[in-house]
Amino acid sequence: MDVTTDANGPWLIVGLGNPGPEYANNRHNVGFMVADLLAERVGGRFKRAGKAQAQVVEGRIGPPGPANRRVVLAKPMSFMNLSGGPVNALKDFYKVPVANIVAIHDELDIDYGTLRLKLGGGDNGHNGLKSMTKAFGAEYHRVRFGIGRPPGRMQVADFVLKDFSSSERKELGYFVDRAADAVEALVIEGLERAQSTYNS
């Protein structure tokens, strides 16, 4: 398994979520929200990616010169628990090393709006990560977007498939913007520098 980041190779940045308007504003879809903002920033629109069950935008991020990076932004259209197949197909098509893959996903064990960046590790019960790890191993980057734990006795599955609360929505735009900044910093500056800025 290739765990070396290739500074000159393309990066595959994957927002995890579920396709369809009924899921669009769910907590589980925050990865899609960040990917949409990144697509806006590179001036692209998501389009179906050939035979892969995903939508992609190709572009570049970073200042002109050696820090400029080619990126493929992706949203799997397979539903969360089958994300690994489409991501693996894109990895092979674009010849992306596993360490140049970034998964943006919701994280229950972190307070709402808090970010954590890391390389590798377990899936912590997240079905999108579980599917990706099964497809090509665990040594990819993660940008973990905290959504907090469900209140009272609410089931986790119900909580993640609900929209953000009205009070959460007041700050959601700011947090999504910050998560997009964190992804860009990870790709341009490397994991350690991005962690020192964004791991709050």
CB atoms within 10 A of CB 38: 25
Q: What is the C-alpha to C-alpha distance for residues 114 and 107, in angstroms, rounded to an integer?
A: 9
Closest by CA to 34, choosing from 7, 67, 57, 2, is 57
Which residue is listed with tokens 């504003």?
Answer: 25
Q: How distant, in Å, are the alpha carbons of 12, 27, 68, 105, 112 from that of 145?
A: 18, 10, 25, 6, 8
CA distance 70 to 41: 13
Clarify whether 28 is annotated catalytic.
Answer: yes
Distance CA 87, CA 136 (A): 9
Strands (E), 31-88: 47-48, 54-61, 69-76
Active site members: 28
